[in-house]
Each structure stands twice: as C-alpha cells, then as structure tokens.
Structure 1
Amino acid sequence: MADLQCAARVLVARHGEAAYESELLSDAGGWLTPLGRAQARELAESLRGQRVARVWTSDMARAVQTGEIVAGVLGTDVVVRTGLREFGVGDARGTTGVPDPFAATFAAWLDGDLAARIPGGESGEEVVTRYRAVLEEVADTHRGEAALVVSHGGVMCLALSALAVNLAPSHSRDLPMPHCGLVAMEADADGWVARSWAGQDL
C-alpha cells in the first residue's frame, strides 16, 4: 500500500446463495438463486449508511451479480478483479467433492502453513498474495472512504485472517462465512486490521 494519509475502510462480503450448472467441482462462476438476490438486496440496505464509494467484485458470476445488485441500490459502479476469486479446485475439477478434497490443505492454511498447496492448484501463499494485491489497490483508491469488496467464503477466511494483524490464521476455523456475511477491514500505513467478522465486533 502507498503511505495512506487516512485509513481506508474496506468491507468484504461473501456473495449471495448460488446455483451451479453441474454438481461436479469446477471453477465456473455459478449464478444467484432468488434467495441469493434477496440476500444481496439485504446487504445493500445494511450498507446505506456506510457511504460506499464503489463496489469491487471477483470475476466469478455469483460475485458479479451480487455486486451489481448492491451497486444498483447504493448508486455506485462495479469494478471486477480476478484476484478476488475463490481458490481454484485444481485436480479435483470434475469430481463430486466427496470426500472433501480441500480439507487437509485448508486446515494446513489455517494452521499457518501457507506453503501447502491444493493438488494441481494454488498454494496458500499464492492465494493470499493475489488477494492482498487487490485489497491494497482498493485501499489506495479509496483513502478516507469506504468500499465494498464482493468475494468468496474460502478465500475470505484464508486471506483476511492472514492479512489482519489482529487475527490468528485460524480465526475462521469455527466461524464459517455465511452468504453475504461481511468483514470490516481498515487499512493504514501500518497494515490491515479487522474491525468486525460476520456481524461480530472485534
């Protein structure tokens, strides 16, 4: 991040409930269900008092759709960044996902081992690095403002816990991120601090 004169407030939300073309694992984007659209509208209404300057989303359809609904309510625009997408499924692409092919790697990430890698996919270090780059861009763009980032549950739990100086890497282990759950992050020259996690103040 550049030397920030005043903190940026970055609100990071998971997308709304989504449906998918296939039950097999893939990196495809999915689309919002009617409930997911209602969740996105509820998220937007909850943010009316935050004076959100812009909405940033992952390039996956379920995140873009969530961001567009929120931006429409708040009267702002949407910027898309691939660095905000969910971690890739790697060699598990095309499988049923039973048993969970990511459980061991994700557990290692939450234990602080970011060198662990999804077979055929990304390491924790690679995921956090791309995610950090986008959050820093958001923070540099919105000095003294609030911005909303729409992303995905897994990458949020990994990257935000790794980036926030006041959170342990394992913070999210027993705190799954609900659809349209929100994490409030603040950025200044000293780094990232989490102020709330899925409705709980920190």
Structure 2
Amino acid sequence: MKLVLVRHGETASNVRMVLDSLPPGPPLTDLGHEQANVLADALADEPVVAVCASTAVRAQQTAAPVAARHGMAVRVVEGVQEIFCGDLEGRSDREAYGVFVKTASEWADGRLDLTLPGGENGRQVVDRCLAAIERITEGVTGGTVVLVSHGGAIRLAGQALAPNVTASLAAGGLLPNTGRVVLERDGAGWRCTAWSGVDIVVD
C-alpha cells in the first residue's frame, strides 16, 4: 500500500508567515482552494481507499476535493495536527522563526527531547503522529491512503517512519503548500519514494 502525506493549502497565516499551530486554525485562501483542486487532479488516478485530515480546518478543506473526486468523505484524525509552538504561537518575527527552525533541525538530528518554549518536544510529535498513522493504515493491504497534515509534523513523521529519509532531507526538505511525501509499505515498515516532487532512490 501507499501512504501520501500532504501539507495543507495556503492560509492567510502562511502569507503573513505567522507561526499558527493550534486547531481549528484559519481557513484556506482562494489560492489555497485552487491548490486543493489541483491536488485532487494530481491524485485522480490513484487507487485511493481513504482520505484523512487533521483537526485543522485548512487540512480538512484541502482534503475535501480529493475525497469528493473518489466518492468518499474526509476522515478527521486526532494526533496529526501541526507542532504546537507554545510561546511562539502567533509570532512572525525573525527571532521566533529562528528558534523554531533551529529546534526542528535538532529534532532531525535525533535530539527529539528538546522542547519548543512552552510547546511540544519532537518525541511527543512523533509519538502522536505515528500512533495516528498506525490507526488509519491498520488492516489496509492495498491502494493509497491520503493524509492531509502539516509541514513540520509530516517531516518528523516521514523521517521516523522511513529509514531512507536522512536527517538533511527531514531538516531541509521544506514542503510547499500541498507538497507531498510518498511512503510505501516495506515489509513491516515503510520506505520513502518521493519527497515534495523529488524521487528518492530506494536501494
């Protein structure tokens, strides 16, 4: 089976570069809705068996055209929301972004116990995301599961799930709005075959 992790479409917070992690959060912009429709077109030929989204409005709105294209409803999933920014929530200044980016880079290097000021540590994010992904893929033996989530959460989950995702890719492979990480079953685990449109060489 295939698991496609998708970052949500554009929001006003993205445009203003605001750290905005708490659900339900802002809706999509007009461009965000266009991006969601383009995503649905891109996944139209996939053998989609489930479309899931985080508890954030922007994720559910991004998932909706994909689900509609395949004649199904969006399943809202707890645990795959964005990294909780804590004291950085709502900020858009250079200092706040510096703290967030540095912490995310440390997490990619394996220091998951580091905590954002007043927020989550990497291990908490990984644990909740992987538990949610296990729930939505349990019993699925074929086809494609689409999960619309958030950039930071996807990068951590992708690295934790797939051994072929390097620290440099997880730290530097920023996902644009509706960017995708593609994972395929590899025995009892996963391997990453594409990251934001770039094919990953699988040995």
Q: Which of the residues 79, 82, 86 maps onto 1:86?
A: 82
Q: Secondary structure at the match of 2:171?
A: coil
User: Structure 2 length normalisation: TM-score?
Assistant: 0.88
Q: Displacement of 1:94 after TM fit? A: 4.3
Q: Distance in 2 between matches of 1:116 and 1:134?
A: 22
Q: Distance in 1 between matches of 2:83 and 2:53?
A: 15
Letter in 1 for 2:115: R
Q: Displacement of 1:175 after TM fit? A: 2.0
Equivalent residue for 1:5?
A: none
Letter in 1 for 2:157: A
Q: Displacement of 1:47 after TM fit? A: 0.8
Equivalent residue for 1:4?
A: none
Equivalent residue for 2:182?
A: 184
Superposed counterparts of 1:70-109, under 5 Å? 70-99=66-95, 100=97, 101-109=99-107
Equivalent residue for 1:31?
A: 27
Q: Which of the residues 5, 24, 31 maps onto 1:12?
A: 5
Superposed counterparts of 1:92-171, under 5 Å? 92-99=88-95, 100=97, 101-171=99-169
Give the aligned CA root-mean-square deviation in angstroms: 2.0
Q: How many residue pairs get matched?
A: 195
Tell me if structure 2 keeps the 8 A contact 1:89–1:118.
yes
Q: Distance in 1 between matches of 2:141 and 2:131?
A: 16
State yes or no: 1:195 paired with 2:188: no
Equivalent residue for 2:43?
A: 47
Q: Distance in 1 between matches of 2:125 and 2:93?
A: 20
Structure 1: state its 5+ residue gaps.
1-7
Tell me if structure 2 keeps the 8 A contact 1:161–1:167.
yes
Q: Deviations over 1:146-165 (max 9, x none)?
A: 11000111111122122211
Higher relative contact order (CA 8 A, sep 6+): 1
Q: Distance in 2 between matches of 1:196 and 1:94?
A: 31
Structure 2: state its 5+ residue gaps.
none
Q: Which of the residues 56, 63, 67 maps onto 1:60?
A: 56
Q: Distance in 1 between matches of 2:109 and 2:26?
A: 30
